[in-house]
Amino acid sequence: MRRIYEDHAYATDWPASWWRASKPVPPPRPALPGSLAVDVAVIGAGYAGLNAALVLAQAGRSVAVLDASQPGWGASGRNGGFVCIGGTKLSDGQIVDRVGTEGAREFRRFQLAAIGHVGALIDSNGIPARQGPEGEAYLAQSPAAMAGLVAEAEAEARLYGEAPEVLRREELAERGLAGPGFHGGLIGRAGFPLHPLEYVEGLAALAEAAGARLFAGTPVTALAPAGGGWRLATPRGEVTARQVMVATNGYSSEDIPAWIAGRTLPALSSVMVTRPLTQSELGAQGFTSPLMSCDVRRLLHYFRHLPDGRFLFGMRGGTSASAAAEAETQARVRRHFEALFPAWAGVPTEYRWSGFVCLTGSLAPFAGPVPGAEGLFAAFGCHGGGVALQSLAGAEVGRLMLGERAAIPALMAQPPRRFPFPAFRRLGLRMAYAAYARRDGPLPAVPA
Protein backbone atom coordinates (compact mmCIF):
# COMPACT_ATOMS: atom_id res chain seq x y z
CA MET A 1 0.00 0.00 0.00
CA ARG A 2 1.16 3.54 -0.69
CA ARG A 3 0.12 6.13 1.87
CA ILE A 4 1.37 9.66 2.23
CA TYR A 5 1.98 9.89 6.00
CA GLU A 6 4.36 8.18 8.40
CA ASP A 7 3.65 4.51 9.25
CA HIS A 8 2.85 5.45 12.87
CA ALA A 9 -0.56 6.77 11.71
CA TYR A 10 -1.53 3.44 10.18
CA ALA A 11 -0.55 1.13 13.08
CA THR A 12 -3.59 -1.11 13.34
CA ASP A 13 -3.96 -1.25 17.14
CA TRP A 14 -6.80 0.82 18.62
CA PRO A 15 -6.12 4.49 19.41
CA ALA A 16 -6.33 5.33 23.13
CA SER A 17 -9.69 7.02 22.72
CA TRP A 18 -12.42 7.64 25.28
CA TRP A 19 -14.76 5.80 22.92
CA ARG A 20 -12.71 2.62 23.14
CA ALA A 21 -12.32 3.00 26.92
CA SER A 22 -16.06 3.52 27.47
CA LYS A 23 -17.26 0.64 25.33
CA PRO A 24 -16.39 -3.00 25.87
CA VAL A 25 -14.20 -4.30 23.05
CA PRO A 26 -16.31 -6.65 20.91
CA PRO A 27 -14.88 -10.03 19.95
CA PRO A 28 -12.43 -9.29 17.12
CA ARG A 29 -13.64 -10.33 13.67
CA PRO A 30 -11.52 -13.00 12.00
CA ALA A 31 -9.04 -12.33 9.23
CA LEU A 32 -9.91 -13.66 5.79
CA PRO A 33 -8.56 -17.22 6.07
CA GLY A 34 -8.24 -18.08 2.36
CA SER A 35 -9.72 -17.27 -1.01
CA LEU A 36 -13.32 -16.28 -1.52
CA ALA A 37 -15.72 -15.41 -4.37
CA VAL A 38 -18.53 -12.94 -3.64
CA ASP A 39 -20.91 -10.64 -5.48
CA VAL A 40 -19.51 -7.55 -3.76
CA ALA A 41 -16.29 -6.78 -1.90
CA VAL A 42 -16.24 -3.67 0.28
CA ILE A 43 -12.82 -2.26 1.23
CA GLY A 44 -13.02 -0.42 4.57
CA ALA A 45 -15.36 -1.09 7.51
CA GLY A 46 -16.28 2.46 8.52
CA TYR A 47 -19.63 4.21 8.17
CA ALA A 48 -19.45 4.30 4.36
CA GLY A 49 -18.43 0.69 3.80
CA LEU A 50 -20.78 -0.75 6.42
CA ASN A 51 -23.79 1.26 5.21
CA ALA A 52 -23.14 0.04 1.67
CA ALA A 53 -22.68 -3.54 2.91
CA LEU A 54 -25.96 -3.36 4.84
CA VAL A 55 -27.97 -2.22 1.81
CA LEU A 56 -26.34 -4.81 -0.45
CA ALA A 57 -26.68 -7.72 1.99
CA GLN A 58 -30.31 -6.84 2.70
CA ALA A 59 -30.93 -7.09 -1.05
CA GLY A 60 -29.51 -10.61 -1.07
CA ARG A 61 -26.01 -9.96 -2.48
CA SER A 62 -23.14 -11.97 -1.03
CA VAL A 63 -20.90 -9.34 0.56
CA ALA A 64 -17.41 -9.46 2.08
CA VAL A 65 -16.19 -6.39 4.00
CA LEU A 66 -12.40 -6.29 4.34
CA ASP A 67 -10.67 -4.00 6.81
CA ALA A 68 -6.96 -3.63 7.44
CA SER A 69 -7.77 -3.36 11.16
CA GLN A 70 -11.22 -3.75 12.81
CA PRO A 71 -14.63 -2.21 12.01
CA GLY A 72 -14.51 1.39 13.21
CA TRP A 73 -10.75 1.50 13.62
CA GLY A 74 -10.57 4.39 11.10
CA ALA A 75 -12.19 7.81 11.51
CA SER A 76 -15.57 6.17 12.15
CA GLY A 77 -14.51 4.92 15.57
CA ARG A 78 -12.47 7.93 16.68
CA ASN A 79 -14.35 11.07 15.64
CA GLY A 80 -16.05 13.75 17.73
CA GLY A 81 -19.47 12.17 17.35
CA PHE A 82 -21.09 15.26 15.80
CA VAL A 83 -23.86 14.04 13.50
CA CYS A 84 -24.01 17.36 11.71
CA ILE A 85 -24.26 19.33 8.50
CA GLY A 86 -20.91 18.91 6.79
CA GLY A 87 -18.89 17.30 4.06
CA THR A 88 -17.43 20.19 2.10
CA LYS A 89 -15.07 23.12 2.49
CA LEU A 90 -16.95 25.07 -0.19
CA SER A 91 -19.01 28.08 0.90
CA ASP A 92 -22.68 28.19 -0.07
CA GLY A 93 -21.77 30.73 -2.75
CA GLN A 94 -19.12 28.43 -4.22
CA ILE A 95 -21.59 25.52 -4.22
CA VAL A 96 -24.09 27.67 -6.12
CA ASP A 97 -21.36 28.64 -8.60
CA ARG A 98 -20.54 24.97 -9.16
CA VAL A 99 -23.97 23.33 -9.31
CA GLY A 100 -26.48 26.20 -9.36
CA THR A 101 -29.11 27.19 -6.81
CA GLU A 102 -31.12 23.98 -7.26
CA GLY A 103 -27.92 21.93 -6.98
CA ALA A 104 -27.06 23.68 -3.72
CA ARG A 105 -30.54 22.98 -2.36
CA GLU A 106 -30.27 19.36 -3.47
CA PHE A 107 -26.97 19.02 -1.57
CA ARG A 108 -28.49 20.62 1.55
CA ARG A 109 -31.41 18.20 1.42
CA PHE A 110 -28.88 15.36 1.23
CA GLN A 111 -26.97 16.71 4.25
CA LEU A 112 -30.19 16.88 6.26
CA ALA A 113 -31.35 13.48 5.00
CA ALA A 114 -27.98 12.05 6.08
CA ILE A 115 -28.58 13.21 9.66
CA GLY A 116 -32.06 11.67 9.54
CA HIS A 117 -30.62 8.46 8.10
CA VAL A 118 -28.22 8.00 11.03
CA GLY A 119 -30.91 8.89 13.57
CA ALA A 120 -33.34 6.39 12.05
CA LEU A 121 -30.69 3.65 11.87
CA ILE A 122 -29.75 3.89 15.53
CA ASP A 123 -33.27 4.49 16.85
CA SER A 124 -35.05 1.80 14.87
CA ASN A 125 -32.38 -0.79 15.66
CA GLY A 126 -31.94 0.02 19.34
CA ILE A 127 -28.30 1.11 18.97
CA PRO A 128 -27.60 3.03 22.22
CA ALA A 129 -25.48 5.73 20.59
CA ARG A 130 -27.38 9.01 21.10
CA GLN A 131 -25.64 11.35 23.54
CA GLY A 132 -27.50 14.65 23.62
CA PRO A 133 -30.13 17.01 22.25
CA GLU A 134 -30.68 18.09 18.66
CA GLY A 135 -29.04 21.24 17.34
CA GLU A 136 -25.59 22.75 17.11
CA ALA A 137 -24.10 26.01 18.37
CA TYR A 138 -21.77 27.91 16.01
CA LEU A 139 -19.80 30.43 18.05
CA ALA A 140 -18.09 33.51 16.61
CA GLN A 141 -14.48 34.00 17.67
CA SER A 142 -14.51 37.76 17.00
CA PRO A 143 -16.98 40.59 16.33
CA ALA A 144 -16.08 40.34 12.63
CA ALA A 145 -16.81 36.61 12.65
CA MET A 146 -20.17 37.37 14.31
CA ALA A 147 -21.05 39.82 11.55
CA GLY A 148 -20.11 37.10 9.05
CA LEU A 149 -22.31 34.58 10.85
CA VAL A 150 -25.31 36.89 10.78
CA ALA A 151 -24.80 37.51 7.05
CA GLU A 152 -24.50 33.76 6.53
CA ALA A 153 -27.73 33.14 8.45
CA GLU A 154 -29.52 35.63 6.21
CA ALA A 155 -28.09 34.02 3.08
CA GLU A 156 -29.08 30.54 4.31
CA ALA A 157 -32.58 31.74 5.02
CA ARG A 158 -32.84 32.91 1.40
CA LEU A 159 -31.17 29.84 -0.10
CA TYR A 160 -32.45 27.01 2.08
CA GLY A 161 -35.38 28.53 3.96
CA GLU A 162 -33.64 27.80 7.27
CA ALA A 163 -33.80 30.24 10.14
CA PRO A 164 -31.12 29.57 12.74
CA GLU A 165 -31.44 31.41 16.04
CA VAL A 166 -29.00 34.31 16.39
CA LEU A 167 -27.48 34.88 19.86
CA ARG A 168 -25.74 38.14 20.72
CA ARG A 169 -22.67 37.97 22.94
CA GLU A 170 -24.61 39.03 26.03
CA GLU A 171 -27.12 36.21 25.46
CA LEU A 172 -24.50 33.44 25.47
CA ALA A 173 -24.15 33.14 29.25
CA GLU A 174 -27.84 32.49 29.86
CA ARG A 175 -27.65 29.68 27.26
CA GLY A 176 -24.61 28.10 28.92
CA LEU A 177 -22.34 29.03 26.00
CA ALA A 178 -20.08 31.60 27.64
CA GLY A 179 -16.37 31.91 27.03
CA PRO A 180 -13.86 34.74 26.73
CA GLY A 181 -13.35 33.90 23.06
CA PHE A 182 -17.01 33.80 22.03
CA HIS A 183 -18.62 36.95 20.61
CA GLY A 184 -22.09 35.64 19.77
CA GLY A 185 -23.35 32.71 17.80
CA LEU A 186 -26.01 30.85 15.88
CA ILE A 187 -28.01 27.83 16.95
CA GLY A 188 -28.80 25.52 14.06
CA ARG A 189 -31.57 23.00 14.54
CA ALA A 190 -30.05 20.05 12.68
CA GLY A 191 -27.88 17.29 14.08
CA PHE A 192 -27.23 15.49 17.34
CA PRO A 193 -24.23 13.99 19.15
CA LEU A 194 -23.52 10.27 19.36
CA HIS A 195 -20.99 7.71 20.59
CA PRO A 196 -19.14 6.94 17.34
CA LEU A 197 -18.09 3.41 18.27
CA GLU A 198 -21.54 2.43 19.53
CA TYR A 199 -22.87 3.49 16.14
CA VAL A 200 -20.22 1.76 14.05
CA GLU A 201 -20.38 -1.45 16.05
CA GLY A 202 -24.17 -1.46 15.92
CA LEU A 203 -23.90 -0.97 12.18
CA ALA A 204 -21.39 -3.80 11.83
CA ALA A 205 -23.73 -6.12 13.74
CA LEU A 206 -26.66 -5.12 11.49
CA ALA A 207 -24.62 -5.78 8.34
CA GLU A 208 -23.61 -9.19 9.70
CA ALA A 209 -27.19 -10.02 10.66
CA ALA A 210 -28.18 -9.20 7.06
CA GLY A 211 -25.59 -11.71 5.84
CA ALA A 212 -22.47 -9.62 5.14
CA ARG A 213 -19.20 -11.24 6.21
CA LEU A 214 -16.69 -8.97 7.97
CA PHE A 215 -12.99 -9.75 7.84
CA ALA A 216 -10.64 -7.78 10.07
CA GLY A 217 -6.84 -7.61 9.95
CA THR A 218 -7.22 -8.04 6.19
CA PRO A 219 -5.57 -5.25 4.21
CA VAL A 220 -6.29 -5.24 0.51
CA THR A 221 -2.84 -4.92 -0.99
CA ALA A 222 -3.76 -4.90 -4.69
CA LEU A 223 -6.89 -4.45 -6.78
CA ALA A 224 -7.09 -5.41 -10.44
CA PRO A 225 -9.78 -6.18 -13.03
CA ALA A 226 -10.21 -9.91 -13.64
CA GLY A 227 -12.69 -11.83 -15.81
CA GLY A 228 -15.39 -9.16 -15.93
CA GLY A 229 -15.04 -8.46 -12.21
CA TRP A 230 -12.27 -7.64 -9.76
CA ARG A 231 -9.53 -9.49 -7.93
CA LEU A 232 -8.43 -8.24 -4.50
CA ALA A 233 -5.15 -9.46 -3.04
CA THR A 234 -4.88 -9.85 0.73
CA PRO A 235 -2.07 -11.42 2.80
CA ARG A 236 -3.83 -14.79 3.20
CA GLY A 237 -6.03 -15.14 0.16
CA GLU A 238 -7.66 -13.58 -2.85
CA VAL A 239 -11.18 -12.26 -3.13
CA THR A 240 -12.92 -12.19 -6.48
CA ALA A 241 -16.01 -10.02 -6.80
CA ARG A 242 -18.29 -8.73 -9.53
CA GLN A 243 -18.37 -5.33 -7.89
CA VAL A 244 -16.11 -3.47 -5.44
CA MET A 245 -16.85 -0.53 -3.17
CA VAL A 246 -13.79 1.45 -2.03
CA ALA A 247 -14.60 3.03 1.35
CA THR A 248 -11.16 3.88 2.69
CA ASN A 249 -11.51 7.69 2.91
CA GLY A 250 -8.61 9.30 4.84
CA TYR A 251 -6.85 5.92 5.12
CA SER A 252 -6.83 5.31 1.35
CA SER A 253 -3.82 3.87 -0.37
CA GLU A 254 -2.66 5.73 -3.47
CA ASP A 255 -2.89 2.54 -5.56
CA ILE A 256 -6.23 1.05 -4.42
CA PRO A 257 -7.48 1.78 -6.99
CA ALA A 258 -4.81 3.51 -9.12
CA TRP A 259 -7.47 6.10 -10.10
CA ILE A 260 -7.51 7.51 -6.55
CA ALA A 261 -3.83 8.55 -6.66
CA GLY A 262 -3.48 12.27 -5.95
CA ARG A 263 -7.23 12.81 -5.51
CA THR A 264 -7.34 12.67 -1.71
CA LEU A 265 -5.47 14.64 0.92
CA PRO A 266 -5.73 13.00 4.34
CA ALA A 267 -5.53 15.58 7.15
CA LEU A 268 -5.18 14.88 10.86
CA SER A 269 -7.83 15.91 13.35
CA SER A 270 -6.97 15.64 17.05
CA VAL A 271 -9.16 15.19 20.09
CA MET A 272 -8.70 15.40 23.87
CA VAL A 273 -11.16 14.36 26.59
CA THR A 274 -10.92 15.64 30.18
CA ARG A 275 -11.82 13.89 33.38
CA PRO A 276 -15.44 14.53 34.47
CA LEU A 277 -15.93 18.20 35.40
CA THR A 278 -17.30 19.10 38.84
CA GLN A 279 -20.34 21.35 39.31
CA SER A 280 -18.13 24.17 40.57
CA GLU A 281 -15.82 23.87 37.55
CA LEU A 282 -18.83 24.00 35.25
CA GLY A 283 -20.13 27.09 37.03
CA ALA A 284 -16.73 28.80 36.96
CA GLN A 285 -16.54 28.57 33.17
CA GLY A 286 -20.23 29.12 32.43
CA PHE A 287 -20.11 26.71 29.51
CA THR A 288 -22.77 24.15 30.41
CA SER A 289 -24.86 23.73 27.26
CA PRO A 290 -25.44 20.11 26.21
CA LEU A 291 -25.42 21.21 22.55
CA MET A 292 -22.58 20.15 20.32
CA SER A 293 -20.63 23.31 19.57
CA CYS A 294 -17.86 24.70 17.42
CA ASP A 295 -16.34 28.04 16.55
CA VAL A 296 -16.31 29.27 12.98
CA ARG A 297 -12.58 29.56 12.40
CA ARG A 298 -11.33 28.16 9.13
CA LEU A 299 -9.26 25.92 11.44
CA LEU A 300 -12.19 25.27 13.70
CA HIS A 301 -12.38 23.97 17.25
CA TYR A 302 -15.21 21.56 18.08
CA PHE A 303 -16.32 20.70 21.61
CA ARG A 304 -19.08 19.20 23.70
CA HIS A 305 -19.92 17.79 27.09
CA LEU A 306 -20.12 14.00 27.29
CA PRO A 307 -22.86 12.19 29.24
CA ASP A 308 -20.56 11.32 32.18
CA GLY A 309 -19.42 14.93 32.67
CA ARG A 310 -16.20 14.77 30.65
CA PHE A 311 -15.49 17.46 28.05
CA LEU A 312 -14.40 16.64 24.50
CA PHE A 313 -12.35 19.21 22.60
CA GLY A 314 -11.01 18.73 19.07
CA MET A 315 -9.24 20.65 16.34
CA ARG A 316 -7.07 20.13 13.30
CA GLY A 317 -3.91 18.10 13.90
CA GLY A 318 -0.43 18.57 12.51
CA THR A 319 0.93 17.83 9.07
CA SER A 320 3.23 15.09 10.32
CA ALA A 321 1.99 11.84 11.86
CA SER A 322 5.20 10.73 13.57
CA ALA A 323 5.00 9.91 17.29
CA ALA A 324 7.00 13.05 18.15
CA ALA A 325 4.78 15.28 16.00
CA GLU A 326 1.70 13.73 17.56
CA ALA A 327 2.98 14.63 21.05
CA GLU A 328 3.54 18.24 19.90
CA THR A 329 0.07 18.36 18.38
CA GLN A 330 -1.52 17.16 21.60
CA ALA A 331 0.34 19.86 23.56
CA ARG A 332 -1.02 22.44 21.09
CA VAL A 333 -4.57 21.05 21.45
CA ARG A 334 -4.24 21.47 25.20
CA ARG A 335 -3.03 25.09 24.82
CA HIS A 336 -6.02 25.93 22.62
CA PHE A 337 -8.39 24.25 25.09
CA GLU A 338 -6.98 26.30 27.98
CA ALA A 339 -7.23 29.54 25.97
CA LEU A 340 -10.88 28.95 25.12
CA PHE A 341 -11.88 27.45 28.49
CA PRO A 342 -9.50 29.10 30.98
CA ALA A 343 -11.48 28.07 34.07
CA TRP A 344 -10.65 24.46 33.22
CA ALA A 345 -6.90 24.97 32.85
CA GLY A 346 -6.35 22.75 35.90
CA VAL A 347 -8.59 19.92 34.66
CA PRO A 348 -6.40 17.11 33.35
CA THR A 349 -6.70 15.48 29.95
CA GLU A 350 -7.36 11.76 30.35
CA TYR A 351 -7.63 10.65 26.72
CA ARG A 352 -6.08 12.00 23.54
CA TRP A 353 -5.93 10.69 20.00
CA SER A 354 -5.86 11.68 16.33
CA GLY A 355 -7.15 10.37 13.04
CA PHE A 356 -7.46 11.18 9.37
CA VAL A 357 -10.22 13.12 7.71
CA CYS A 358 -10.20 13.24 3.92
CA LEU A 359 -9.96 16.36 1.75
CA THR A 360 -10.31 16.31 -2.02
CA GLY A 361 -8.95 18.47 -4.83
CA SER A 362 -12.48 19.74 -5.52
CA LEU A 363 -13.22 20.51 -1.83
CA ALA A 364 -16.40 18.41 -2.18
CA PRO A 365 -17.12 14.76 -1.37
CA PHE A 366 -17.43 12.09 -4.03
CA ALA A 367 -19.82 9.12 -4.18
CA GLY A 368 -20.45 6.98 -7.23
CA PRO A 369 -18.91 4.83 -9.93
CA VAL A 370 -15.19 5.19 -10.57
CA PRO A 371 -14.91 6.52 -14.14
CA GLY A 372 -13.75 3.99 -16.71
CA ALA A 373 -13.78 1.05 -14.27
CA GLU A 374 -16.85 -1.17 -14.70
CA GLY A 375 -18.11 -2.47 -11.36
CA LEU A 376 -15.89 -0.23 -9.22
CA PHE A 377 -17.46 2.35 -6.88
CA ALA A 378 -16.19 4.70 -4.18
CA ALA A 379 -17.30 7.20 -1.53
CA PHE A 380 -14.77 9.51 0.08
CA GLY A 381 -13.82 13.08 0.88
CA CYS A 382 -16.08 14.42 3.62
CA HIS A 383 -13.65 17.10 4.82
CA GLY A 384 -14.02 16.17 8.48
CA GLY A 385 -17.82 16.09 8.37
CA GLY A 386 -18.65 12.52 7.45
CA VAL A 387 -20.46 10.91 10.38
CA ALA A 388 -23.77 11.62 8.69
CA LEU A 389 -22.68 12.23 5.11
CA GLN A 390 -20.48 9.15 4.63
CA SER A 391 -23.25 7.03 6.15
CA LEU A 392 -25.86 8.07 3.60
CA ALA A 393 -23.27 8.22 0.80
CA GLY A 394 -22.39 4.58 1.55
CA ALA A 395 -26.05 3.55 1.54
CA GLU A 396 -26.71 5.39 -1.73
CA VAL A 397 -23.66 3.86 -3.41
CA GLY A 398 -25.01 0.49 -2.25
CA ARG A 399 -28.29 1.26 -4.04
CA LEU A 400 -26.38 2.32 -7.15
CA MET A 401 -24.53 -1.00 -7.12
CA LEU A 402 -27.88 -2.79 -7.03
CA GLY A 403 -28.85 -0.94 -10.21
CA GLU A 404 -31.39 1.16 -8.34
CA ARG A 405 -31.84 4.91 -8.61
CA ALA A 406 -29.70 6.58 -5.99
CA ALA A 407 -30.14 10.06 -4.57
CA ILE A 408 -26.57 11.29 -4.97
CA PRO A 409 -26.50 15.08 -5.37
CA ALA A 410 -24.81 16.58 -8.43
CA LEU A 411 -22.14 18.17 -6.21
CA MET A 412 -21.04 14.71 -4.99
CA ALA A 413 -21.34 12.94 -8.33
CA GLN A 414 -18.48 14.86 -9.93
CA PRO A 415 -15.22 12.93 -9.53
CA PRO A 416 -12.70 15.14 -7.74
CA ARG A 417 -9.79 16.40 -9.78
CA ARG A 418 -6.24 15.41 -8.90
CA PHE A 419 -4.36 17.84 -6.68
CA PRO A 420 -1.81 19.76 -8.73
CA PHE A 421 1.68 18.48 -7.79
CA PRO A 422 0.34 15.58 -5.65
CA ALA A 423 3.80 14.85 -4.23
CA PHE A 424 3.63 18.23 -2.46
CA ARG A 425 0.14 17.84 -0.94
CA ARG A 426 1.35 17.89 2.66
CA LEU A 427 3.52 20.93 2.01
CA GLY A 428 0.51 22.67 0.45
CA LEU A 429 -1.55 21.77 3.52
CA ARG A 430 1.09 23.25 5.84
CA MET A 431 1.06 26.49 3.84
CA ALA A 432 -2.76 26.59 3.81
CA TYR A 433 -2.84 26.08 7.60
CA ALA A 434 -0.45 29.00 8.11
CA ALA A 435 -2.60 31.26 5.91
CA TYR A 436 -5.84 30.16 7.64
CA ALA A 437 -4.33 30.72 11.10
CA ARG A 438 -3.42 34.30 10.12
CA ARG A 439 -6.94 34.87 8.80
CA ASP A 440 -8.61 33.27 11.84
CA GLY A 441 -6.79 35.63 14.21
CA PRO A 442 -5.40 35.02 17.69
CA LEU A 443 -6.83 32.92 20.49
CA PRO A 444 -7.98 34.77 23.61
CA ALA A 445 -5.01 35.57 25.88
CA VAL A 446 -4.64 33.07 28.73
CA PRO A 447 -5.13 34.92 32.06
CA ALA A 448 -1.90 35.17 34.07
Q: Is 1 in the site for ligand FAD (CB under 6 A)?
A: yes
Cα 367 to Cα 90: distance, rounded to the nearest angstrom: 17
Largest CA distance in the chain: 69
Residue nearest to ligand FAD (CB): 386
Least gap, CB of 158 to ligand FAD (angstroms): 25
- Contact at 8 Å (CB) between 70 and 226? no
Within 204-233, the residues that bind ligand FAD by CB under 6 A are 219-220
Query: CB atoms < 10 A from the CB of 235, how many?
Result: 11
Among the residue ranges 151-159, 168-176, 382-390, 421-429, the one whose residues contact ligand FAD (CB under 6 A): 382-390
Print the binding letters for residues 231-250 with ligand FAD: x by CB under 6 A, - otherwise. Answer: ----------------xxxx
The helix (run of H) or strand (run of E) holding residue 242 is: strand 237-246
Residues binding ligand FAD: number (CB under 6 A) = 45
Q: Is 85 left (phi over 0), alpha (psi -120 to 50) or beta?
A: beta
Query: CB atoms < 10 A from the CB of 407, how many?
Result: 13
- Contact at 8 Å (CB) between 138 and 296? yes
Least gap, CB of 236 to ligand FAD (angstroms): 13
Within 273-332, the residues that bind ligand FAD by CB under 6 A are 314
Q: Is 190 in the site for ligand FAD (CB under 6 A)?
A: no
Q: Which is nearer to ligand FAD, 146 or 412 (CB)?
A: 412
Least gap, CB of 221 to ligand FAD (angstroms): 7
Print the binding letters for residues 52-91 with ligand FAD: x by CB under 6 A, - otherwise. Answer: --------------xxxx---xxxx-xxxxx-x-x-----
Q: Which is nearer to ligand FAD, 281 or 303 (CB)?
A: 303
Least gap, CB of 285 to ligand FAD (angstroms): 21
Q: Which is nearer to ligand FAD, 149 or 247 (CB)?
A: 247
Least gap, CB of 65 to ligand FAD (angstroms): 9
Q: 360 — phi, psi (to 5°)? A: -125, 165
Cα 433 to Cα 428: distance, rounded to the nearest angstrom: 9
**Long-range interactions of 91-95: CB distance < 8 A, separation 24+:** 92/152, 92/155, 92/156, 92/159, 93/155, 94/363, 95/364, 95/411
- Contact at 8 Å (CB) between 236 and 34? yes
- Work out which of 111, 253, 293, 362 binds ligand FAD, going by CB under 6 A: 253
Cα 111 to Cα 125: distance, rounded to the nearest angstrom: 22
Q: Which is nearer to ligand FAD, 183 or 310 (CB)?
A: 310
Q: Is 382 in the site for ligand FAD (CB under 6 A)?
A: yes
Strand blocks (E) in 361-412? 366-369, 376-380
Q: Which is nearer to ligand FAD, 49 or 184 (CB)?
A: 49
Binding residues (CB under 6 A) for ligand FAD: these are 1, 43-49, 66-69, 73-76, 78-82, 84, 86, 219-220, 247-251, 253, 256, 269, 271, 314, 355-357, 382, 384-388, 390
